[in-house]
Structure 1
Amino acid sequence: MKKTMKNIDKIFLFTLLIFWCFSGLGQSQKDSIEQVLDSIYPKKIVSEISTEKFTEYAPSISANGRTLIYESNKDGSWKLYLTRDENGTWGDEISLDSINNFGDSIDVISGPNFSYDGNRIYFHASFDDGYGSEDIFYSERIGDTWSKPKNLGPEINSRSFDGFPTITTDGKTLYFARNSKNVPEGVTEFCYEIYVSQKTDSGWTEPTVLPYPVNLGCEKAPKIMADNRTLIFASLREGGIGGFDLYQTNLNADGDWVSPVPLEYVNTTDNDLFSCISASGEIMYFSKKDDIYSVEIPQEYRQFQNVTIQGLIRDADSQEGLSAALRITDANTSESITSFDNNPSDGFYSIVLSTGRAYNLEVRKDEYSSALYYYDLRDIESYKEYEQNIDLFTTAHLNVNIYDIELYDPLTATITIKNDIGRTVEIVESDGETWKTRLDLPIGNAFTVEVESENFKPKSFSIDLRGLILYREYEQDIELIPEKVGVPINVNDLLSGGSVSSSQLIIRNKTRNEEIVISGNQTVNLRVGDRYLVEASSDRGYAFNSTEIGITKEGKLQTIDEETGEIKKDSKRVELRLQPLSKDANLTLKDIYFESNSSDLFESSFEELDRVIKLMKSYPSMKIEIAAHTDDIGAAEYNVRLSKERANSVINYVTSNSIEEERLISKGYGESKPVVLNDSEENRGKNRRVELKILDIKLAQND
């Protein structure tokens, strides 16, 4: 019902307007029409701003609708003021002193207009040293303050009047007014014509007057809308209700301005000037009777639906504001929509986009990362605001994971970073305890990263941080290959010297966590710089044997002579001899150590004793004697007793691991059976030993 009544009102209004246009109505009839218009489109004075004594004029609102600037003569001359939205009402006025105090007290400062991102104010003024009577100036926001005015230059400003500037959202098309050369006959108002200029890389183009049907000779106060296609302006032309009325035109697909339409919802019998609409497109502010008014815009007059995207561009580490280049393109066609720089003082930016399309937002700054965002606005049906803070960074974090390709252990390594001309930028050492080493690399450069670890083959890779860098964290796995040499290992029968074909080898790396299990009598690749314990055994009637070897940094094999204990520094192979298992066979146990003058075993002895346990479990019939020997230091009786206790300690360890006590006996021989003369500390060490003697054993037929 409400919708039907409203349509009836509009039909009635349309009839009145047609009647008025063609019938030469008097002022009283025009007032009646205005009353009808006000009943349909009520206009409200903005009471927080407007005063009774003074004039408030030429409002301009920021794209997000939160800041309004205007001019007023409340201080005795025309000056600019700013107010901010505070929970739905306009707050206290703020004098823009950096602009207002720039010239003389008698200077005219008028026609303010926000850039859509809220970072610039354009206006005209009669400051000295201009190019004409009044020139167009601008002031840039610096945090909460504004810069001193800057003249837009002779490309725009002429020797006469230039004013009422308005600029598109991308800051590249400027509309303004100049004194009219074609004032209609009989008009006594100050008349202007609307001009346009495009900003290029070389500056502003020569301004050109907008053609018919926009300019008819007495226009004023243009305002380009957020869609960059809709222009609202004031005009004194035939068919108007009063003095200056507001009209709306827009660029069609061919780039031509369509015939202007009077804005019936705002026009009155007074001069109606200086429209401004926030990006939401719902409310218009305008000047009338020395005050600022607002009116709700009917749906059919609203510009294309818009979306505002705003936020701060900041340094990711310091959180300080940055200036950057922003570029909007059509996400489907890559067509460039707009490009501009944000505010350098605090990094604030604001973008107004029309709905019905999908967009890419690209943010770039030299020596910083970039940012890329996608906005799909094709199904947006109402005004929306998006808050999007953008953090850019000067360094990328390259996490280099350096590890052994075979064992996956982290490695200590030297990381050398070189720039694109091969100059060393930085050298970093990895700790070898964790996989990850973080490198901070400056954006805008290409690098080669070389990784070297002792006794491993070096490796390098490149990383290019030029161009569009979107991510801060990078990961690079560096699998280093160990340097190896081939080591022949022969396992022979101790008595016959022949090869033990059934032997097996367990090769334990004492430098790192590595174990190799292979059959005996073959060549095995071992790591340069590491030491190994090689244990040989056979399940075909042989005892075990072990030896320690090393591979020098030069790739030389080091072995220990089993008979003399001498270290051979450049061996060609490893020779291990296995004792055949038979009654009365003797086996000297290696690496059995005790506390000084004590029978307490060192823990390092357990590895060899575990081999004894394994052997006895493999041959359940075997009985052995454990004989301990000492050197000649100390009394002979004491040495016998000490050796007996040490033999018992060995037996206690073996029997504690599920070996029956009756299978072992202990003997303590003291210093009575030396294998070499006790004439040196080295020889005494050879005489301090533990031996295993087989007392009884029954071998299977295949042993």
Structure 2
Amino acid sequence: MKNFQIILTFTFSLFIFIVTLSSSKCDAQNYHNLNTATKKALKYYADGKDLLNAQKDAEAIKPFEQAVTEDPVFIDAWLMLGELYNENQEYEKGKKAFETSFSLKPDARSSAYYFVAESYWNLNDYENTIKALKKYLAFQNLPPEWIESSKHILMNAIFAKEAMKHPVPFNPIHLSDSVNTKYQEAFPTLTADENTLVFMRRDPAGKDWNEDFYISHFNKDHWTNARNMGDALNSIYQDGAMSLTNLGNEMYFASDRKGGFGTQDIYYSQKKNNQWTYPENLGATINSVSWESQPSISADGKTLYFVSSRSGGYGGSDIYMSVKDAKGLWPKPVNLGPTINTKFEDQSPFIHSDGQTLYFSSKGHPGMGGADIFYSRLDSVGNWGEPINMGYPINTKNDELSFTVSLDGKKVFYSSEKVKGDLDLYAFDMPESAKPKPVTYLKGIISNVTTNEFLEASVQLIDLESGNIINSFSSVATTGEYLISIPSGKNYAFNVSKKGFLFHSENFSLADHNPTEPYQLNIQLQPVKTGESVVLKNIFFETNSFELKKESTVELDKLVQLLKENAAMKIEIGGHTDNVGSDESNQKLSENRAKAVNDYLVQAGIVATRLTYKGYGKTKPIATNDTEDGRSRNRRTEFTVTSMQ
């Protein structure tokens, strides 16, 4: 009965109002009602009603059973028994009681078809659930809330019937006893490299259960023993439902600690000098007087998804989003709209690092009856597509909540009690159809090439085609660490910059292939000084031409910015080729390409006297010309600082 109560909340004492059969005698009647049943059966029936009025529902079963034993065609008693059996979760008995009543008089009571549908539903008999609800909806003058409930259950029964015929692969793997305990574990969140797992555990603390954050690291082939993350994050209140940034040095989470705006608020903490800062409430624009929870932060740290029960939504809880503004503030959140949110509970959002795939739980979309996991993809104009159910047996009649998806989209980490009976953490393989767009990552350490000092530098990933910044953040000041996710399907410029240093650039051409392994790159920035050179890895020309491609503007504009920040800097732009072709043609091509860059800078407002250009042809290779990769590296444009005066 649990899943029916999810759709239409009721208790037996509230639900039975009690409808009795007509007191008039029917012609050719093959059953007994309250006017025609035997006296002894009526006495048992009255005893049962007295117990119901005293709210002793379970005890009322016996006198109604005695009533039908005494008078086997007493239809009122059979109908009462059916409802009571369902209330007591004895669905097989409930089904038989209703089917007996139908054999006596099929249309005795319209609500009997709703109740027998409940019996069938809980017995996983979706075919008969569908038939019973269709019969119920054919009656006239039904209560509106019952009609709505029946249609929703009918929708789920139709879906469940087909889903069970076509199960998806499902192989939940228990995350081992180093993470799971006899207590409840839930709300897993991962760093992009899948080496750090943070989750919530419900520990007994005095007379109350306390929800705290725990952390575990993946070491070669196993998860280390999870440890409490300490008092800086955890409180004596309920702390849980968290989301880590890709590097794992920032965390958004929900807590009902004192000083909030509502029953539960969203907080933020940052890891500095290996310590978590005191959590900061995100404020009244994000948090309301209601309930906010289950945050999910985007890969670039700029978009926050979360759940709220605030007024103005579509149902009990809705999913919202807020995009951080240029000042680093969170503006008023926006409801994701009726494509995602329903009249029921919509929650547990997880935005994947591809920036286009949203996973969430819902009781309102067609599913198995509880809160099912769905996914929706963002289209090219910014609209969410129709949610797709992840399928059976990933989804069941239980509530499937609190999950995270690995960066490569191959694994789902989630909490469940359906395997071992208590709430533990598991991982399973993502069905192929539900996988997000392929994403890899680049990580490393940024330092000063001269002193080896760690640097807090600006890190950007830029779509070369559109010029849009896909991801932007700073490396960690105390460690120089950075980690950036890179979605496949596009070509990117990767740029690292810091005032007082020459920028560093890389090119990632992922438009035509998906990398199988993540990238690792430690970057040493060169202080701005005479004689230092930088290869411009995102300057592109047409083949055998000195015409700049549109994609080059991203890198050229970075060079313009560097020159404007360093007004005394003078540079030489050098063009280089491989050894294919004649020396004369290579010399001419390299010089024209260098001049093309020079002309762009002048047009962008750089004084021409600060610039010189030169073509070197094939005379200064930086790699072998015996391989295509080497020749590609030799075909380059670079600049050299010639003066800082």
After TM superposition, the score normalised by the length of structure 2 is 0.56
C-alpha distance 73-100 of structure 1, shift in aligned 2 (>3 A): farther
Partner of 2:396: 268
Shift of 1:334: 2.0
Kindly name which structure, 1 or 2, has the bigger radius of gyration based on alpha carbons: 1
Q: Distance in 2 between matches of 1:98 and 1:193?
A: 31
Q: Distance in 1 between matches of 2:488 and 2:465?
A: 14
Partner of 1:212: 338
Q: Distance in 1 between matches of 2:526 and 2:184?
A: 49
SS at structure 2 position matched to 1:346:
coil
User: Unmatched 5+ residue regions in structure 2?
Assistant: 1-123, 134-152, 418-422, 534-564, 572-607, 612-636
Shift of 1:316: 2.1
Q: Aligned match of 1:371 in 495, 504, 512? A: 504
Shift of 1:43: 1.7
Partner of 2:189: 60
Q: Aligned match of 2:216 in 60, 72, 83? A: 83
Partner of 2:592: none
C-alpha distance 33-98 of structure 1, shift in aligned 2 (>3 A): farther
C-alpha distance 447-20 of structure 1, shift in aligned 2 (>3 A): farther
Q: Is the 8 A contact 2:254 2:267 kept in 1?
A: yes
Q: Distance in 2 between matches of 1:237 and 1:253?
A: 26
Q: Distance in 2 between matches of 1:345 and 1:100?
A: 20
SS at structure 2 position matched to 1:204:
coil
User: Unmatched 5+ residue regions in structure 1?
Assistant: 1-15, 186-190, 401-442, 450-460, 465-469, 477-703
C-alpha distance 128-337 of structure 1, shift in aligned 2 (>3 A): same
Partner of 2:303: 173
Partner of 1:538: none
Partner of 2:408: 280
C-alpha distance 30-328 of structure 1, shift in aligned 2 (>3 A): closer
Q: Aligned match of 2:359 in 232, 239, 243? A: 232
**What letter corresponds to residue 233 of structure 1 in structure 2?**
F
Q: Is the 8 A contact 1:325 1:364 kept in 2?
A: yes
| Deviations 1:346-386, CA, capped at 9 Å, x for gaps | 12111112111100012222223211111101232354300
Partner of 1:196: 321
Partner of 1:162: 292
Name the % identity: 24
Partner of 2:568: 446
Q: Distance in 2 between matches of 1:39 and 1:246?
A: 13
Q: Distance in 1 between matches of 2:216 and 2:352?
A: 21
Q: Distance in 1 between matches of 2:128 and 2:189?
A: 32
Partner of 2:377: 250
Q: Distance in 2 between matches of 1:378 and 1:351?
A: 18
**What letter corresponds to residue 286 of structure 1 in structure 2?**
Y
Shift of 1:278: 1.6
| Deviations 1:302-337, CA, capped at 9 Å, x for gaps | 111112111112222332322222222222332332
- 2:461 is aligned with 1:328: yes
Summarize the alignment of residues 404-423 of structure 1 with structure 2, pairs less than 5 Å apart: none
Q: Aligned match of 1:122 in 238, 248, 252? A: 252
**What letter corresponds to residue 194 of structure 1 in structure 2?**
I
After TM superposition, the score normalised by the length of structure 1 is 0.51
Partner of 2:433: 300
Q: Distance in 1 between matches of 2:504 and 2:125?
A: 53
Shift of 1:175: 0.7
Partner of 2:514: 381
Q: Which moved further from structure 2: 319-328 or 349-358?
A: 319-328
SS at structure 2 position matched to 1:56:
strand
Partner of 1:525: none
Q: Is the 8 A contact 2:439 2:486 kept in 1?
A: yes
SS at structure 2 position matched to 1:300:
helix
Partner of 1:97: 230
Q: Which has the higher strand share?
A: 1
Q: Which has the higher contact order (CA 8 A, sep 6+)?
A: 2
Partner of 1:355: 488
C-alpha distance 164-298 of structure 1, shift in aligned 2 (>3 A): same
Shift of 1:90: 1.1
**What letter corresponds to residue 327 of structure 1 in structure 2?**
Q
C-alpha distance 395-39 of structure 1, shift in aligned 2 (>3 A): closer
| Deviations 1:397-416, CA, capped at 9 Å, x for gaps | 5389xxxxxxxxxxxxxxxx
Summarize the alignment of residues 490-501 of structure 1 with structure 2, pairs less than 5 Å apart: none
Q: Is the 8 A contact 2:169 2:431 kept in 1?
A: no
Partner of 2:169: 40
Q: Aligned match of 1:137 in 264, 267, 271? A: 267
Summarize the alignment of residues 224-623 of structure 1 with structure 2, pairs less than 5 Å apart: 224-237=351-364, 239-264=366-391, 266-289=394-417, 290-398=423-531, 444=566, 446=568, 474=641
Q: Which moved further from structure 2: 262-271 or 221-230?
A: 262-271
**What letter corresponds to residue 177 of structure 1 in structure 2?**
V
Partner of 2:283: 153
May I ask how many residue pairs the two structures share in their alignment? 398
Q: Distance in 2 between matches of 1:97 and 1:324?
A: 29
